Structure 1
Amino acid sequence: MDFNALAILVKVVELGSFTQAAEALGMTKSTVSRKVSDLERNLGVRLITRSTRSLKLTAEGERFYQSCLLAKDIMEQAEVEITAHQELIQGDLNVVMPVELGHQVLGPYINEFIKLHPHIRVHLEMSNREVDIIGEGIDLYAQVGTRKDSNLVSRLLTNATRVVAASPAYLAETGTVTAPSDLRPPHRQVKVYNQAVKLLSWELHDEEGDVFNIDLPYRLRVNTITASLQACLDGLGIAVLPTFLCRPHFESGSLMQLFTDWQMPTVPISLVYANRTLMPKRLRTLIDYLVTRLNEDMQHGVIPKKNV
Structure 2
Amino acid sequence: MDLNAINVFAQVVECGSFTHAAEALNMTKSTVSRKLAELEQHLGVRLVTRSTRSLLLTPEGERFYQSSQQMLELINQAELEVSANQDLVKGPLNVVFPVELGQQVLSKYIHQFLLEYPHVSLNLELTNREVDIIGEGIDLYAQIGELADSNLVSRYLISSKRVMVASPEYLEKFGQVNSHLDLKEPHQLVEVFNKGARLPKWQLGLEKDFSYQIDLPYQLRVNTVTSCLNACIDGLGIAVLPEFICVEHFTTGKLERLLPEYTMPEVSVSLVYADRQLMPKRKKAFIDYLLEAFHTEHSQA
With normalisation by structure 1, the TM-score equals 0.88
Report the Cα distance in structure 2 between the residues aligned to 1:288 and 1:111, rounded to whole angstroms.
15
Q: How does 1:122-271 map to 2 (within 5 A)?
A: 122-197=122-197, 199-207=199-207, 209=209, 211-250=211-250, 253-271=253-271
C-alpha change, 1:79 and 1:56, in structure 2 (3 Å) is: same
Indicate conservation of the 8 Å contact 2:143/2:197, yes or no.
Answer: no
The one-letter amino acid of 2:282's match is R
Over 3 Å counting, the alpha-carbon distance change for 1:208 and 1:70 in structure 2 is closer
Q: CA RMSD in A?
A: 2.3
Superposed CA offset, 1:27-86 (max 9, x none): 122211211221222233333333344333333333332222112111212222333332
Matched, 1:83 2:83: yes
1:86 counterpart letter in structure 2: Q
Counterparts of residues 254-293 of structure 1 (less than 5 Å): 254-293=254-293
1:17 Cα deviation (Å)?
1.9
**In structure 2, what is the equivalent of residue 18 of structure 1?**
18
Contact 2:208–2:264 (CA<8 Å) still a contact in 1?
no
Residue 7 of structure 1 pairs with residue 30 of structure 2: no
In structure 2, runs of 5+ residues without a counterpart are: none
Q: CA deviation at 1:169?
A: 4.1
The residue type paired with residue 65 of structure 1 is Y
**Using the alignment, how far apart are the partners of 1:283 and 1:162 within structure 2?**
31
Quickly say closer, same or farther: Cα 1:300–1:176, change in 2 above 3 A: farther
The letter for the 1-side match of 2:239 is A
**8 Å Cα contact 1:204-1:213 kept in structure 2:** yes
* Residues 1:51 and 1:150: Cα distance change in structure 2 (over 3 Å): farther
Between 1:109-118 and 1:186-195, the stretch displaced more is 186-195
The 8 Å contact of residues 97 and 127 in structure 2, kept in 1 or not, is answered as yes
Whether the 8 Å contact between 1:201 and 1:265 is mirrored in structure 2 is no
Distance, in Å, in 2 between the alignment partners of 1:153 and 1:206 is 33
Following superposition, the deviation at residue 151 of structure 1 comes to 4.5
How much has 1:208 moved relative to structure 2?
Answer: 8.3
Contact 1:145 1:196 survives alignment (8 Å): no
Is the CA contact 1:203–1:265 (under 8 Å) kept in the aligned structure 2? yes
Deviation, structure 1 residue 209: 4.0
Report how far residue 110 of structure 1 moved: 0.7
* Contact kept? 1:183, 1:216, Cα under 8 Å: yes
- Tell me how far apart the structure 2 counterparts of residues 78 and 223 of structure 1 sit (CA, whole Å): 42
Change (3 A) 1:249 1:299: farther
Question: Do 2:94 and 2:138's aligned partners in 1 also have CA atoms closer than 8 Å?
Answer: yes
In the alignment, residue 51 of structure 1 is paired with which amino acid?
A: S
CA–CA separation in structure 2 for the residues paired with 1:99 and 1:118:
24
Deviations along 1:61-116, one digit per CA (max 9) or x if unpaired, are 33332222112111212222333332221111111111111111011111111111
Q: Given that residues 66 and 135 in structure 2 are in contact (C-alpha distance below 8 angstroms), is that contact kept between their aligned partners in structure 1? A: no
Shift of the 126–31 alpha-carbon distance from structure 1 to 2, 3 Å rule, reads: same
* C-alpha displacement of 1:15: 1.8
Aligned residues: 301
Judge which range, 146-155 or 173-182, deviates more: 146-155
Unaligned runs of 5+ in 1: 302-308
Matched, 1:73 2:73: yes
Distance in structure 2 (CA, Å) of the matches to 1:208 and 1:267:
14
CA contact (8 A) 1:179 1:259 kept: yes
> What amino acid does structure 1 have at the position aligned with 2:74?
I
Q: What percent of counterpart residues are identical?
A: 56
- Residue type at the aligned position of 2:137: G
Q: Secondary structure at the match of 1:124?
A: strand
Residues 41 and 220 (structure 1 numbering): CA distance in 2 closer, same or farther, change over 3 Å? closer
Distance 1:115 1:213, change over 3 A: same
Q: Describe the shift of the 1:45–1:186 C-alpha distance in structure 2 as closer, same or farther (beyond 3 A).
A: closer
Q: Does 1:110 align with 2:101?
A: no
In the aligned structure 2, how far is the partner of 1:77 from the partner of 1:270? 26
Distance 1:105 1:88, change over 3 A: same
Deviation, structure 1 residue 217: 3.1
